[in-house]
Amino acid sequence: MNQLVRFGVSLDQRLLEEFDRHIRRRHYTNRSEALRDLIRDNLVGQEWDENKETVGTITFVYDHHVRDLAGKLTDIQHDYQGQILSGMHVHLDHDHCLEVLVVKGKGAEIKKVADALVSVKGVKHGKLTMTTTGKSLR
């Protein structure tokens, strides 16, 4: 196990109060856990910025009645089959579908996949959620 290190942090009173509200909203048990998560989140973002191997999800909602939309989305997914590991399709109501794709690859490649899917006419909303393989985090 890694050695824990204690250190002090000086913050503006208002900033600390906001941080404590954040901790309560997220149900952290203490400031240390919240601070660790913020640091990890920043490091994950750097992995994406540095174009290292990363993972994520692409989530998008679309109207399946839009002509040829399902086919276009499927074609794009086939074009990027090297980055798409898995997918889930959910019928939300009579008109709308939700797709969630699990992706893995270089950050720029995954962003390219997400942009290609979300920009198709008929996709109502889409979002790329980035995370890490965890290899570099402790």
Which CATH number describes the domain made up of 53-132? 3.30.70.1150
Q: Taking CA 58 as the corner, what is the angle to CA 54 and CA 61, rounded to the nearest 5 degrees? A: 175
Position 135: which residue type?
A: K
R_g of the chain computed on alpha carbons: 19
Determine contact, residues 128/111, Cβ cutoff 8 Å.
Answer: yes
Q: Provide the pLDDT for residue 2.
A: 76
9 pLDDT more than 90: no
pLDDT band at 37; cut points 50, 70, 90:
confident
Greater confidence, 37 or 92? 92
Q: Provide the pLDDT for residue 132.
A: 75
7 pLDDT more than 90: no
66 pLDDT more than 70: yes
Q: How far apart are CA 2 and CA 137, in angstroms?
A: 12
pLDDT band at 47; cut points 50, 70, 90:
low
Position 72: which residue type?
A: K
As a whole number, mean pLDDT of residues 44-63 equals: 82
Q: Provide the pLDDT for residue 134.
A: 67
